[in-house]
Structure 1
Amino acid sequence: MSTPEQIWADADLPARRLAGLALNPSVPESVLLRLLSDAPLAARMVLCRDRPLPDTVVDAVIQHPDTRTRSFFARNPHVDPAQRVRLVDDPAWFVRAHLAGGPRVAAPARPRPLPDEAVVHMISTYEDELLGGPFYQQISAGLRRSMATHPVANVRHWGVGEWRSLAPDTRAALLADADAGVREAAQRHARCEDPTWVESTLPDRPCHARTDLLLHCPLTRAVVEGVLARPVGEEDKAMIAVNPTLPPDTVVLLAADPDPEVRARIAQRTDLGPAERRTLVTDPDPDVRLAVSVHPALSEEERARIDYQVPTDHFFVHNPAPEAPRDPRTVRRDALSCHPLLRRRAAGDHLLPPDLVARLASDDDLGVRVLLAQNHPDAPASLLLRSFLEYTGPERSHLTTRPNFPTGGLAVFADHEDSEVRALAARAPDAEPTTVARLTQDPDPAVRAAASRHPNLPQRRLAALLDDEELAHHAAANAALPPDVIRRLLRTGGRQAGPQE
């Protein structure tokens, strides 16, 4: 069965024009229904997967006889999950698999959760092979928190996976659960809290299992001493350095380890003693000094005396809001800190109050400004635009999806040397037609594509682009496409009249 990429690669020019019509915001429901009924697979794929749909069209998709067409809708990130979940009992496993796999969304976006009752139904009735990692991202936070005590045994089995965050009485109930599968799963997790079992099962070679045990599980004195004396991997000591069960004397020992990475890990421990902190703040390695400089036990005066340098080439990206909000007093303390890393930590808080938003929006640190822009729902328009212009790292484009990203005045960037900035001009509703037409011939394909959809594109140029192999589907998606052209493309199956066809 062809992949979506292959379906698009195999689509001819008429099919791509119809795919553009499927995305055109100005076409009426009747056109969408006609495309759903008569258009080739590539156009139906785009229609069902890549845009929101009116209820009448959704009804028709759910009843469509073609399995692939329904499966595309199952992965549509633009529609309400309650619409997608109407396919929960689709007769084709292929459709059910795509529903469980969820929409393909570009990072940092995540698919919206499915209704809780649908998730419970899927856990109870779907084959395990359909419920892989992507499915978990579609489970609401509320359901995840309640899974361990859910009345359905299959759901409780999933809830056992949250073992480390479960209350003691909930763990005890799972260990005594009436369902054998739930009990066995709980027992497997419980034994990971037994240092003797950890010692008995610890692999003697570098691997994921050894890493997990050394990082997170309680360690016997024998395991700790074995790592210190005979590490089997280069990262062994660095891994136990962050283990919460590390004995205090070992913390002291590792604070003086010759490996800077080990010292940097130890420097982040909240149980680091005053003597060790005093030593590490003057460590010869800059990474160690930077790590200890944000230690919560230090005062602002002590931080200011440390010779640290904050890197500016880090990735400043969107982070999902934690299920448990940070303490507002801690957030405020970080936001007012002299340390850029602490201010960056505060800037990523989605619940930052207005006075701190205003303060950090003019911070002199690039990371603070961009993290605020990437994460806060009320980040001001001026900050969003400034961040986009100054930050060129991963998830830069996410800034343009933030609620307050401006559109006015963007046409001034039409000649910018950075192609991503030039593309902003195609978002400007006041862009001059001649400017838009010029951008359809830009060296960068993303700029050309965006300009081809701009409603200010001159009609003569728009008509010419319908014959362009690369840009035809973007031109057909242009909201300014004349109704008579739309009707003709529908009537001819996407073919243009003329010798080129």
Structure 2
Amino acid sequence: MTPEEISASAGPNERRLAGVALNPAAPVDVLLRLLASESAAVRMVLCRDRALPDPVVDAVVAHPDRWTRGFFAENPYADPEQRARLVDDPEYHVRGRLAREPRADDVCMPRPLPDRTVVRIIETYEDDHLWELNRLISPGLRRAMPTHPSPKVRRATVSWRSLTPRGLAALLADPDPDVQKAAASHSRWYARLRDPDAVREDLPARPCHARRHLLMYGALAPDVVAEALPRDALLIAGNASVPPETVALLAAHPDPKVRTRVADRPDLGPAELRALAVDPDPGVRLALSVHPALSEAERAAIDYAVDQDEWYGHIPVPDPESLPGPEEARPLALSAHPLLRRRAACRPNLPADLVALLADDPDLGVRVLLGQNHPDAPAALLLRCFLEYTGGKRWHLTGHGNFPRAGLARFAGDEDPAVRRLALLDPGMPGDAADRLTRDPDPQVRADAARHPRLPQDRIAALLDDPELGRRAAANPALPVATMYRLVAEAECGRAAGRVAPV
């Protein structure tokens, strides 16, 4: 059964016990009794959807059911050191889940596994596990892999795009023949990509991923360019090997998508820059307006419009050391062009004076991207961003360490359901307001309200039998511990009497 099928098959009592499993105030012995439950739905929620104390982790790692261990292997809330204990699990199913990036939500972002665990996975797991491992590797280990003591770790480096020329050179001279062979194969592949005759030889005639990749990134001979022009102009428009005369033709192509891609080329000549700056298509003009060859005055002379209704989310940085220096973002942050300032706002190493400057930027995208990506984004900015931005990953802002919570109860009557939900982050929300929001027309607001610790006890008790909110009420940290024990005991008695069928 898939996790969705497991959840859908759970009965009311199981859903309520799953709520207890999520309750942050649940005692260890309650959690251990839930782990012993025959309900897959309860074990799934317990092991996958919350952080667990060490005694419960001990029991999970030793649990006889592979699916239960597998749920914990993909738990994004668990400390990576805890998940790492499953690295030598006997079941392929569990190892596979450990070796792939855990599920993420709008607030909880996956963290790398310990370096020694990644090394163990590379050295002992099947090769089909390794392709998903890339994002679980710490930046420090990634940098050290080309010269790592383990030949298998060095060999694994070859297949990843993050391999630098210096790293490739080290691998080509590696003392291990298998590593050297893999590096040589990798080097030959890139050498063929830079060889026009090899690209012509390797280029498939039919549309496919290989043809697309070669036309976009391979060194193209003049005859290949001529053949590609009629049907693949969009693919070759950004290829660095396309000669200037072809670039001029592409800059005048009838398809605005082609001209937009050409506008991104760093090697545009003065004639192409002038022509694209007055292109009849607004998308082309916008793309050209951020060209690095233009001065601020030349950008200002272009008639461009920046869309405000876009996605402004968190942009992970796999290796902070790969970022340009903090001061290199200064020209972008000081530009009159909103898109350049948005690029600066995404830099997590932006200096404090530029953070203060962009926090009050007139462009919504600049402000929200700064709030989503900078570790020192001010509290006032984060709240303002949430109230003004209604696009994707909006809730991610609330997971920022500086996001304010005190005083949010004032938004309990807002017309926007997401803002009413925001009010429930206030630990000081009055109980009657939380009670009222359990009857809110929005289901997510009702669900959050049922878990609010200031919800009156009589309302929590009533909601335990509610078909929709029973699970949420059971997860409320204000639920009396005695009630938790009673719910678990009733389920155990029912199972002993044969009234609860295993899932």
Q: Fold-level match, TM-score > 0.5? A: yes
1:445–1:494 Cα change, 3 Å: farther
Tell me which residue corresponds to 1:187. Answer: 188
Distance 1:433 1:64 in 2: 40
Given that 2:437 and 2:446 are in contact with CA atoms closer than 8 Å, whether structure 1 keeps it comes out as: yes
Tell me which residue corresponds to 1:469. Answer: 467
- Structure-to-structure mapping, 1:23-62, within 5 angstroms: 23-38=22-37, 40-62=39-61
Given that 1:18 and 1:39 are in contact with CA atoms closer than 8 Å, whether structure 2 keeps it comes out as: no
| 1:197-225, Cα deviation, whole Å (9 max, x unpaired) | 11111122322211111111221222112
Tell me which residue corresponds to 1:21. Answer: 20
Distance 2:263 2:125 in 1: 47
| Secondary structure, aligned partner of 1:392 | coil
| Secondary structure, aligned partner of 1:493 | helix
- Structure-to-structure mapping, 1:296-375, within 5 angstroms: 296-321=292-317, 323=319, 324-375=322-373
Tell me which residue corresponds to 2:71. Answer: 72
Aligned residues: percent identity?
A: 56
Given that 1:74 and 1:102 are in contact with CA atoms closer than 8 Å, whether structure 2 keeps it comes out as: no
1:436–1:163 Cα change, 3 Å: closer
1:70–1:146 Cα change, 3 Å: same
**Correspondence 1:94 to 2:93:** yes
**Correspondence 1:200 to 2:198:** no
The alpha-carbon deviation at position 136 of structure 1 amounts to 2.2
Residue number among 434, 437, 449 corresponding to 2:435 in the alignment: 437
Given that 1:18 and 1:494 are in contact with CA atoms closer than 8 Å, whether structure 2 keeps it comes out as: no
| Secondary structure, aligned partner of 1:268 | coil
Given that 1:452 and 1:474 are in contact with CA atoms closer than 8 Å, whether structure 2 keeps it comes out as: yes
| Secondary structure, aligned partner of 1:161 | coil
| 1:99-143, Cα deviation, whole Å (9 max, x unpaired) | 12342113686521112222222122212233343x322122333
Given that 1:452 and 1:471 are in contact with CA atoms closer than 8 Å, whether structure 2 keeps it comes out as: yes
Distance 2:384 2:294 in 1: 33
Given that 1:163 and 1:189 are in contact with CA atoms closer than 8 Å, whether structure 2 keeps it comes out as: no
Distance 1:110 1:249 in 2: 47
Given that 2:76 and 2:108 are in contact with CA atoms closer than 8 Å, whether structure 1 keeps it comes out as: no
| Secondary structure, aligned partner of 1:64 | coil
Distance 1:415 1:167 in 2: 58
Tell me which residue corresponds to 1:276. Answer: 272
The alpha-carbon deviation at position 309 of structure 1 amounts to 0.9
Tell me which residue corresponds to 2:257. Answer: 261
| 1:386-419, Cα deviation, whole Å (9 max, x unpaired) | 1111111111111111111111222122222221
Letter in 2 for 1:472: G
Tell me which residue corresponds to 1:241. Answer: 237
1:219–1:48 Cα change, 3 Å: same
Tell me which residue corresponds to 2:400. Answer: 402
Letter in 2 for 1:8: S
Distance 2:189 2:148 in 1: 20
1:171–1:198 Cα change, 3 Å: farther
| Secondary structure, aligned partner of 1:26 | coil
1:150–1:245 Cα change, 3 Å: farther
Deviates more, 1:342-351 or 1:295-304: 295-304
1:330–1:311 Cα change, 3 Å: same
| 1:16-53, Cα deviation, whole Å (9 max, x unpaired) | 22211111111222222222234632222211111111
| Secondary structure, aligned partner of 1:262 | helix
Letter in 2 for 1:278: R
Tell me which residue corresponds to 1:295. Answer: 291
Given that 2:61 and 2:85 are in contact with CA atoms closer than 8 Å, whether structure 1 keeps it comes out as: yes
Mind listing any 5+ residue stretches in structure 1 that lack a counterpart?
A: none
| 1:214-249, Cα deviation, whole Å (9 max, x unpaired) | 111221222112222x42xxxx21221211222233
Distance 1:99 1:157 in 2: 21
Letter in 2 for 1:222: D
Distance 1:194 1:159 in 2: 24
Distance 1:460 1:108 in 2: 31
1:41–1:157 Cα change, 3 Å: same
| Secondary structure, aligned partner of 1:131 | helix
Given that 2:108 and 2:399 are in contact with CA atoms closer than 8 Å, whether structure 1 keeps it comes out as: no
Letter in 2 for 1:93: Y
Distance 2:107 2:401 in 1: 15
Distance 2:86 2:218 in 1: 41
Distance 1:163 1:404 in 2: 34
Deviates more, 1:111-120 or 1:250-259: 250-259
Distance 2:254 2:430 in 1: 63
The alpha-carbon deviation at position 319 of structure 1 amounts to 0.7
Distance 1:208 1:109 in 2: 34
RMSD: 2.3
Letter in 2 for 1:49: R
| 1:421-474, Cα deviation, whole Å (9 max, x unpaired) | 111121112222121111111121111110000011111111011001221111
The alpha-carbon deviation at position 172 of structure 1 amounts to 7.4
1:400–1:312 Cα change, 3 Å: same
1:494–1:464 Cα change, 3 Å: farther
| Secondary structure, aligned partner of 1:427 | coil
Tell me which residue corresponds to 1:220. Answer: 221
Residue number among 246, 254, 257 corresponding to 1:250 in the alignment: 246
Mind listing any 5+ residue stretches in structure 2 that lack a counterpart?
A: 495-499
